[in-house]
Amino acid sequence: MAIIHTAVWQTLEAHSPLTTLLTGGIFDAADLGRQGLQPDTPHLYRGHLLKPCAVIHWRGAAEFRPHYAAEKRTFEIHFYQDSGTTTIGEALRLTKKLMHRAQIEADNGGLWWVNWVSDSSEFTAAELGGASAKFSRYEAIYLRE
């Protein structure tokens, strides 16, 4: 087993229809460092064009009420492509189908219940030269030991 960060990434990576769309890769933001995606990130660019890709961003933890021993972690999956949103829109749909109401086992917390929370509208990722972007937000809930 793996910690929840790795387990979510592995779940996405194991879904071949999703990885077929996201030819630039699926990344955990914690593994990318402070600068995030860069032009020298392996397999991310075809020439000067950004390939469709995704980055998982983990957010803070909070109490999950009414259960005094439950906690939730929020994470977002950001999708990017050079222009347009056809490919990342489909990747977002596949991800939601895969992750909403999923149960993922991890070393930290045992069994996690993952629920979709919301999707963003399209936005421009200035840090990637104005690439098209969207994201989905999820909550992962587990019982503290």
- Give CA–CA dist 121/111, Å, rounded: 31
Question: pLDDT > 90: what percent of the chain?
Answer: 62
Which H or E element spans position 29? helix 29-32
* Strand-pair partners of 53: 25, 80
Q: Which residues contact residue 4 at a Cβ distance below 8 angstroms, ignoring those fewer than 6 apart?
A: 73, 104, 106, 108, 109, 112, 140, 142
Q: What is the mean pLDDT of the chain?
A: 90
| Pair 72, 64: CB distance under 8 Å | yes
For domain 4-143, which CATH number applies: 3.30.2000.10, 1.20.120.420, 3.30.70.3150, 3.30.43.10?
A: 3.30.2000.10
Question: In the numeric block, which tokens belong to residue 32?
Answer: 């990318």
Question: Strand 131-143 to strand 110-119: parallel, antiparallel, or no bridges (unpaired)?
Answer: antiparallel
Encode pLDDT of 90-144 as tens digits: 999 999 999 999 999 888 777 889 999 999 999 999 888 899 999 999 999 987 6
The residue ranking higher by pLDDT, 52 or 109, is 52
> Which is higher by pLDDT, 44 or 95?
95
Q: How confident is the model at residue 86 (pLDDT cuts 50, 70, 90)?
A: very high
Which residues have CB under 8 Å from 76's CB, separation 6+?
Answer: 56, 57, 59, 135, 136, 137, 138
Evaluated on CA atoms 86, 118, 95, 23, the torsion sign reads: positive
Contact 80, 27 (CB under 8 A): no
Round to whole Å and give the CA distance between 42 and 145.
Answer: 39
Mean of the pLDDT values across residues 6-17? 95
The percentage of residues in the chain with a pLDDT greater than 70, rounded to a whole number, is: 98
pTM: 0.92
